[in-house]
Amino acid sequence: MPISTRHYQKKAALLVAGFACLSPTFGWTQATPKAPVLSSPALSPQALPPEMTPEGILKDIVNQSIAEQAGVPDLATPAVVPAKPVPVPVKPLAPAMVEVLNKDLLDLADLLAGRWDNELQTFFEPELNVPVPLRHERLHAVVRPIEAPEFGPVSFYVEYRKGGEAGPVVRQRIWTLSVDQELGAVRLAGFAPKDGKPLEGAWRQIEGSEGLKPDQVKKDSFTPVAGCDIIWRRRGEGFSGATRPAACKLVTNADKRVLNVSEQHDLSANVWEVRDVGVDERGVRVFGGSELPPTRLKRAETFTCWASVAKVAERAIVSDLVVHDQGGIANAEFAGGSPAKLRLRLRNVEWPIGQNRPSLTLYLLVDGDDRAEGYAWGEPTANRLALDVAGTQVSCTRDPRARWR
């Protein structure tokens, strides 16, 4: 059978070349003899490898032809086996660096824990003429350390509410912190509850309960938020964190769109700024953006208060009211008192414009109206504020023990 492949053509050419080397007259007209000339003694011919001899080449051609007819792979040409990728070993961190990262983890855990609110930001945005589409919703976030052995030694229950601490729950998570030696950073992983309703408000420490128990946070009741881990690194006195590029994808509840989400965090002792952007598969931005200022959460410090109003010949008193200083509100009711109801608001104000000094301010609100009937103020770090307005008395004392109430 004729050999038509390029491979066999090359083999045939080699065969011809071999014959030409062995027989000077092969395929050529014999030259006219000339007189002998003096020359060096002829060297012994060097032996060819077997596969380069005419017999070897002819044998190879025959084998290839047989293999082609049988439909088997090329017998002469070895199969090209792709080289296996060589794993690049992760160089272990030096013990001193591991110790630094372990300390970073604990420091980050201390900073995250607490209650956070952006009430000041939302309160001043209208006054600053921030365009309505760029204004922020008010968020109240609780990050409470919990005992959750199935998740890890450093875990938190996280709850976000819209509109303040009494608003509807918009997000719940279990967060865990761990050292990522490959990245040289602290990794925050999130887990979403399959049914979050039983956990709503479970962070609160009420009489006879210290909050969430380990049996309430079983790992099989949660779904990992894959690809959305936040990688934290120390930045001065605080930390900065971000998701990995193009790694975090979430599905919207309403229309089930897949969003590519990115988050950036800057965390210090009393301020937590979050900038997030969500873009759908068509490239349409759903939320966030570079032109939008970050959500600016302030750490909320708790106070316990008592309030007293006139009641005929005596006074009605309500005590153990808990309120936080980032726009927190406490309600009091007085049976037979005047007024029968009142509300307290506490705000640690930082004025974005004007000459006013930062002040811790206590407001007295009556009959559901946000207009203050009276107020008192002091230094931002004041431990106690009190007021007396037309016989209504209120006193509030800083109380870190009430943080989870």
Gap between the Cα atoms of 326 and 115, Å rounded:
10
Mean pLDDT for the stretch of residues 247-262: 90
pLDDT band for 51, please (50, 70, 90 cuts).
low
pLDDT tens by residue, 368-404: 677 899 999 999 999 999 999 999 999 999 999 999 9
pLDDT tens by residue, 33-48: 343 333 344 444 455 6
State whether 243 and 310 are in the same domain: no
Please give the tally of structural domains in the chain.
Answer: 3
State whether 153 and 227 are in the same domain: yes
- Determine contact, residues 212/202, Cβ cutoff 8 Å: yes
State whether 162 and 225 are in the same domain: yes
State whether 99 and 216 are in the same domain: yes
Q: What is the DSSP letter of 349?
A: E
State whether 55 and 150 are in the same domain: no
330 in any annotated domain:
yes
State whether 1 and 139 are in the same domain: no
**CB neighbour class for 175 (10 Å; exposed up to 12, middle 13-18, buried from 19):** buried
Cβ atoms < 10 Å from Cβ of 378: 14
How far is CA 285 from each of CA 93, 179, 294, rounded to the nearest angstrom? Answer: 40, 33, 16
33 in any annotated domain:
no
State whether 398 and 267 are in the same domain: no
Structure tokens at 285: 């931005």
Of 284, 299, 314, which residue sits at a domain end? 299
40 in any annotated domain:
no
Of 252, 278, 299, which residue sits at a domain end? 299
Of 235, 270, 299, which residue sits at a domain end? 299
State whether 253 and 328 are in the same domain: no
Strand, coil or helix: 62: helix
143 in any annotated domain:
yes
State whether 137 and 219 are in the same domain: yes
pLDDT tens by residue, 67-124: 555 555 554 445 556 667 766 666 788 889 999 999 999 999 999 999 999 999 999 9
- Determine contact, residues 335/309, Cβ cutoff 8 Å: no
State whether 22 and 156 are in the same domain: no
State whether 291 and 316 are in the same domain: no
The whole domain housing 222 covers: 95-201+211-299
The answer, yes or no, to whether residue 177 has pLDDT greater than 80, is yes
Rounded mean pLDDT of the chain? 84
pLDDT of residue 44: 45
Mean pLDDT for the stretch of residues 155-170: 97
